[in-house]
Amino acid sequence: MTIDWRYTVEDNLGVLSVAGYLGPGAVRRFNGAIGWALARGMGPVVLDLAELRSWSAEGQLAIAEAARRLADAGRSLELAAIPADGSLVPTSSCPLIPVHSDLPTALAAHGAQHGDPAEGRHEWRTTGWLAPDQAAE
């Protein structure tokens, strides 16, 4: 089982939304999504976990490693809507990872909102992530 992801850039903030199960089999794909975010954005990355069903210890370690990778690039990682089955337990070498109850709260902390794609918003996603027009069908 793997994950699907969508990365959205608005102004100086990135939102990486992840859906599925972040387990050992999905860590490589998650790391690729973090690489994508590093290459195509600036500023903090909010990891939106609202569509994540669950995560394993390996998935949590991948998130901690993502926070380190982003910190090495001068960026930060924040979490929104962590799975109900637990909280992230970062390692001692992990940078501080702010946790928000949901994506709107995380965006409000940065004075941002999800805007209209025609107004400077850029988005990339895996083929398994439904486009907004597909989700309405």
> Which is higher by pLDDT, 22 or 119?
22
- Class of 3-107 per CATH? alpha beta
Residues above pLDDT 70, as percent of the chain: 82
Whether 136 has a pLDDT exceeding 50, the answer reads no
- pTM, two decimal places: 0.86
C-beta separation of 99 from 82 below 8 A = yes
Could you tell me which of 128, 108, 119, 4 has the C-alpha nearest to residue 46? 108
State both tokens at 80.
Answer: 């929104």
Domain chopping of the chain, boundaries: 3-107
pLDDT tens digits, one per residue of 67-121: 999 999 999 999 999 887 666 666 677 888 999 999 999 999 988 765 545 466 7
Q: Report, as an integer, the average pLDDT of 15-22.
A: 95
